[in-house]
Every structure is written in C-alpha cells, then in structure tokens.
Amino acid sequence: IAGITQAPTSQILAAGRRMTLRCTQDMRHNAMYWYRQDLGLGLRLIHYSNTAGTTGKGEVPDGYSVSRANTDDFPLTLASAVPSQTSVYFCASSDSGTGGNEQFFGPGTRLTVL
C-alpha cells in the first residue's frame, strides 16, 4: 500500500441497506477525515478523527458513523442508506489535526443509493 486507499471504488446500493466504506492509510498520519463531494458544492466534512481512539462530527454527520480503532483504518458506515447519500466519498489523512498540514486524499468511492 502506498498512501491512502479506499474500497469499494463504486457501489450501487438499495435504500435502507447498510454499507461500510473502507479507508486505509500507511503514512502513519494521526488525523483522518471523511468528505462527500456533490456537484456544485464544495467538499463537506462528515466525520473526522484527530488520533486513534477519538472521532468528531463534521458539517454533515447525520446518517453516518465512524470508528478509529487504530492509526491506519477509518471506516465510514451508512446504517440505513437513503437516496440523498448518493455522492462521491473521499477519505483523507494528515499528519496532524491541528496546524497547516496538507491533507492527502484517497481515490474516492462513488456511491449511488436507489
């Protein structure tokens, strides 16, 4: 693994189903983030984690949950998917959650909820 990876690349999901998007980084970064990107809107922060064992809510957390059991992994779960969660999801990481550290992004997961 080099950098940050996400799985799956894309997914079509029926409304009401549960789905976990996976994110793994090998840069030993302390901070990790989940964003969604919708056409005409900027990236919006869903949840973040400044260090393993801690998580926080971003701008649009409703309907999503995260966990950070270790440094490398930061899965995002949709407990019961709805069509408004159709989006491109990006995971990102940075060396620190405070300070001007650049965020490195994964390749994204394109999710369609029908």
Residue 45 in the binding site for other proteins (CB under 8 A): yes
Q: Among 5, 7, 11, 44, which residue sits at the site for other proteins (rule: CB under 8 A)?
A: 44
Cβ–Cβ < 8 Å for 102, 1: no
Of the CA atoms within 13 Å of residue 91, those in its CB half-sphere come to 28
User: Least distance from C-beta 98 to other proteins, angstroms?
Assistant: 5
Residue 58 in the binding site for other proteins (CB under 8 A): yes
User: Least distance from C-beta 6 to other proteins, angstroms?
Assistant: 9
* Angle, alpha carbons 78-109-73 (nearest 5°): 70
Residue 54, Cβ neighbours under 10 Å: how many?
Answer: 12
Nearer to other proteins (CB atom), residue 16 or residue 59? 59
User: Least distance from C-beta 78 to other proteins, angstroms?
Assistant: 20
Rounded Cα gap, residues 87 and 43, in angstroms:
11
Query: Which residues make up the interface to other proteins (CB under 8 A)?
Result: 40-45, 48, 58-59, 90, 97-100, 102-108
